[in-house]
Amino acid sequence: MAIIFSERLEALRGLMRENGWDIVILTGSDPHASEYPAPRWKQVEWLSGFTGEAGDVVVTQDHAGLWTDTRYFIQANRQLAGTGFVLHKLRVPEQVPIPEWLASLGLDEPIIAVDGLCQTMDAVERLQEAVPSAQIVSVPDLLSSLWTDRPAIPSSPIITLGEDLAGESRETRINRLRKWLVLRGADAILISELDQIAWLLNVRGADIEYNPVVISYLLVTLDDVFWFVRKDAYEDPDSETAASFQELQADGVSIQDYDDILFTLASLRVEMDGIDKICIDPSSLNIALRDAIDDGDLLPEVLEVGSPVPLWKAVKNPVEVAGMREAHVEDSLVMEQFLFWLSRHVGSVNEWEAAREQGRLRAAVPGYRGDSFETISAYGPSAALPHYSTPATGSALLEPHGLYLVDSGGQYLFGTTDITRTVPLGPCTPLEREDYTLVLKGHIDLSMAVFPRGTAGCQIDALAREPLWRAKRNFGHGTGHGVGFFLCDHEGPQDIRQNFNATPLEPGMIVSIEPGIYREGMHGVRHENLVLVRPVGDNEFGSFLGFETLTLCHFDTSCLELSLLTADERAWLNAYNAHVCDVLSPRLPADVAAWLFEQTRPV
């Protein structure tokens, strides 16, 4: 298989020679700066064979490198073998990011070709700053001449959410954005990130697997709203999408064709009266669209500024919070039934079969709209890969010893879930028990945190790591990420990780708490709940916040090293497990409820 990718690499080098390009850079993203692109834009995977969600490649005539982070090192080394690509490690002390690596080559006036649709303005600026003499050439759809069977741009059915689900109308959200424009003296804003568009318009689709978004662009002016979407793909006037379009148009949204965005941007001041200043977000807008604005005959003034929508979206309103609570109750009922089933089938099912059983249980929940990401069902050494992709054939048998890790989530009309449980399947080694307990200890310590309002996630990240650090252990991924409301499983601007991010945690935000530890060839441990940031009190020292745990699924206590837990940590664990049993038992089958009662006895 590796020979296919080495042949593709050589074909790209031939294209580079034909066009006089010294360097080609391809990202693992799409024209909308998405974390998870649709198949059409999986250029890194097509070229190199690397299937991880985070990876960029740089190709010269004598070197081909893939840059990815600690979650994918083991996977990348396996998948890149024999392809001609070399792994470059990120999020490690000795990292050399792409711009710095290019600068180290010492090339004089190199020509760097990038896919302009999939490179953000900020990314190109960093390249230019690192190599000032470089000529950076934007080549939209750079690989199309080589990738002859490239998938089309997707178009899935589009639905709308009412205020009963979203808690706010699209008119209210658009008017909020217009007020923001007025305060900046601007006439319009161009938004390209898909979850922002879905939130503003209260629309959902399925153009990207696991992410209920619609491939589109949105242009909002003080008077109009223009949604650039693949309207030509929806021809049935009686379809759900047609009804959604009619509803949007009745609310003043003009439906435009997706491919017309470049022409529209090039003629902003000609075709659209009154657009003299437009806001764009350089962190997400691709350079092909920025070039289109610059190519116009009458250029509007461009204000480069971060979009306010991510922060608005991250702070859930009361209706969204209620929906997320409901989603977690429903999802936790699924999890407990799955874990009960698992306890009865250890030794007779494999990783893939376990994942399918969990999916079957979720699909039976009313309002279920698919998984929120690909289920990670990993036993023993498989769990040492933080983003293990469970194979349909040849996956490991779940044997009656050691640790099994399952990381999964659901998309529901009323919310999004994400949960990880590491489950002892039988006797565990002393090291497995110790790792299991230390990770849970870190999870509990952060869950119990109380902090002043204005605190950023990076300022409390160490609470989850300190038990591991004290034992001279660590994990390479972030401790927590934001989660959308029936939207993307990963959302910002908030997070909990070591990297500096000044965004404070605010009441109404939902984040994960998921410390872990991974030992290559041995085992992996991760314990994850979603939590809601909430006020916990005011006094003369200020306003204080804490977390309400939304996930309701017990932690297995059978392999704990209790000596490693403090009295407060044991009290938290016992109270949490008891709460899970109290809330879920009345709605579980009798045999599952009886089993859960035994599983949640205090330690």
Domain containing residue 87: CATH number: 3.40.350.10
- Over 60: is that where the pLDDT of 270 sits? no
What is the pLDDT, as a whole number, of residue 294?
A: 83
Tell me, yes or no, whether 299 and 323 share the same domain: no
Last residue of a domain, one of 138, 170, 185: 138
Q: How confident is the model at residue 232 (pLDDT cuts 50, 70, 90)?
A: confident
Check pLDDT > 80 for residue 57. Answer: yes
Domain annotation covers residue 145: no
What whole-number distance in Å separates Cα of residue 28 and Cα of residue 7? 20
pLDDT at 267: 79
User: CB neighbours of 105 closer than 8 A, spacing ≥ 6?
Assistant: 60
Q: What is the CATH number of the domain that holds 392?
A: 3.90.230.10
Measured CA to CA, the distance from residue 441 to residue 469 in angstroms comes to 12
Confidence of residue 271 (pLDDT cuts 50, 70, 90): low
| Secondary structure element (H or E) that encloses residue 128, with its range | helix 121-130
Task: Residue 203: name the closest of 255, 280, 265 by CA.
Answer: 255
Q: What is the number of other CB atoms lying within 10 angstroms of the CB of residue 274?
A: 13
pLDDT on residue 265: 87
Radius of gyration of the chain, Cα coordinates, nearest whole angstrom: 25
User: Is the pLDDT reported for residue 93 higher than 90?
Assistant: no
337 and 249 part of one domain: no
DSSP per residue, 25-36: EE-SS-TT--SS
DSSP letters of 88-122?
EE-SSTT---HHHHHHHT--SS-EEEE-TTSSBHH
Structure-block tokens of residue 62: 């004598």
* For residues 224-253, average pLDDT: 88
* C-alpha closest to that of 206 among 167, 160, 154: 154
Percent of the chain predicted with pLDDT > 90: 89
Choose the weakest-confidence range: 50-54, 265-269, 505-509, 584-588. Answer: 265-269
Does a structural domain hold residue 147?
Answer: no
Q: What is the pLDDT of residue 394?
A: 94
pLDDT of residue 273: 63
Same domain, 106 and 230: no
Asked if residue 180 belongs to a domain, the reply is yes
What mean pLDDT do residues 321-337 have?
98
- Is residue 586 in a domain? yes
Q: 429 vs 339, 344, 496, 510, 535, CA distance in Å?
A: 21, 22, 31, 35, 41
Same domain, 33 and 131: yes
State the pLDDT at residue 1: 66
Q: In what order do the strands lie in the sheet with 403-408?
A: 376-379, 403-408, 419-424
The predicted-structure confidence for 373-427, as pLDDT tens digits, reads as follows 999 999 999 999 988 889 999 999 999 999 999 999 999 999 999 999 999 999 9
- 400 in helix, strand or coil? coil
Instruction: Examine residue 192 and state whether it is found in any structural domain, yes or no.
Output: yes
138: left (phi over 0), alpha (psi -120 to 50) or beta: beta
Which pLDDT does position 16 carry in this prediction? 97
Residue whose tokens read 């991510």: 310
- When pLDDT is cut at 50, 70 and 90, the band that residue 296 belongs to is low
DSSP characters over 410-478: EEETTEE--EEEEEE-S---HHHHHHHHHHHHHHHHHHT-EEETT-BGGGTTHHHHHHHHHTT---SS-
DSSP 231: G
Q: Answer yes or no: are the C-beta atoms of 51 and 76 closer than 8 Å.
A: no
What is the count of structural domains for the chain?
3
Answer yes or no: are the C-beta atoms of 340 and 599 closer than 8 Å: no
pLDDT digits (tens, 9 = 90+) for 415-462: 999 999 999 999 999 999 999 999 999 999 999 999 999 999 999 999
- Sheet harboring 86-89: ordered strands across? 86-89, 64-68, 56-59, 23-26, 111-114, 135-138
Residue 235: pLDDT band with limits 50, 70, 90: low
Domain presence at residue 148? no
Place of tokens 């314990």: 527
Please tell me whether residues 207 and 89 are part of one structural domain. Answer: no
* Whether 250 and 325 share a structural domain: no
Residue 259 confidence (pLDDT): 92
Q: Return the pLDDT at 269.
A: 60
Query: What letters, b where the CB count within 10 A reaches 16 and e where it falls short, cover 105-119?
Result: eebeebbbbbbbbbb
What are the DSSP calls for 268-299, one per residue? HHHHSTT--EEEE-TTT-BHHHHHHHHTSSSP
181 and 59 both lie in a single domain: no
Boundaries of domain holding 341: 315-599
Same domain, 330 and 467: yes
Residue where one domain finishes, among candidates 74, 107, 138? 138
378 falls within a domain: yes
- Average pLDDT, integer, range 260-270: 81
pLDDT at 298 over 80: no
Contact in structure between 443 and 464 (CB atoms under 8 Å) = yes
Range of weakest confidence among 88-92, 302-306, 437-441, 598-602? 88-92
First CA to last CA distance, the chain: 51
The reply to whether 594 and 484 lie within a common domain is yes
Give me the chain's average pLDDT, please. Answer: 95
Which residue, 247, 279, 313, sits at the end of a domain? Answer: 313
Residues 347 and 495 in one domain: yes
Strands 216-221 and 188-191: antiparallel
pLDDT digits (tens, 9 = 90+) for 456-480: 999 999 999 999 999 999 999 999 9
pLDDT of residue 233 exceeding 70: no
Please choose, from the candidates 152, 365, 393, 370, the residue with its C-alpha nearest in 3D space to the C-alpha of residue 258. 152
Collapsing DSSP to helix, strand or coil, 67 comes out as strand
pTM (predicted TM-score): 0.94
pLDDT of 582:
98
Q: 266 or 167: whose pLDDT is higher?
A: 167
Residue-wise pLDDT tens digits, 538-589: 999 999 999 999 999 999 999 999 999 999 999 999 999 999 999 999 999 9
Whether 565 and 529 share a structural domain: yes
Q: Are residues 391 and 410 in the same domain?
A: yes
Is residue 146 in a domain? no
Q: Which pLDDT band, with edges at 50, 70 and 90, does 71 fall under?
A: confident
| pLDDT tens digit sequence for 354-375 | 999 999 999 999 999 999 999 9
